[in-house]
Amino acid sequence: VVAAAGAAVTAPGKWRCVDVAAGAGLPAGQRFSAYCASEGGLVMFTKAIAMDLAADNIRVNAVCPGIVMTPLVERNLSLNADRDAAYQRYISRNLMKRFGTVAEVAGAVCYLAGPSGAFITGEVLTVDGGNQLWGDQWTIPRPDYFIP
């Protein structure tokens, strides 16, 4: 889609693309091979298409959000007998001790797409409260992490 859009651009330098991948696309995760591969593919696609479109001054970047408090996450937490214990179990391994917000991820997208990010292309910005710093000790929770 980005390649087709890039070919249709009539005003080079006026276009930006910010892909939304997931932290699972950065390190490998046990029991997540397909998910890690698809997200890793998007991360590499972002970098490759940035190289293809840079000559036209078109910037392509990605954000990789961590767990963001959304209605789906809240629903999954609520399925636990002790919702607060499930929340604490996750944030115990988050350096900022909380979930992210939609506004925080949107802010990162706006930064990359806006004038402050004018000299940034081919980059992947992780917005996860420090989870990626755990490396292979902690990547993303299992799909059943919130559900008993």
CA distances from 19 to 41, 61, 64, 94 (A): 12, 6, 9, 24
Helix (H) or strand (E) holding 46, with range, is helix 33-53
Q: Which of 35, 87, 111, 145 is catalytic?
A: 35
Residue 42 phi, psi (nearest 5): -65, -40
Instruction: Provide the 8-state DSSP code for 141.
Output: -
CA distances from 39 to 23, 44, 115, 124, 143 (A): 8, 9, 27, 12, 15
Cβ-contact 77, 146 below 8 angstroms: yes
Q: Is 90 a catalytic residue?
A: no
Give the catalytic positions in this structure: 35
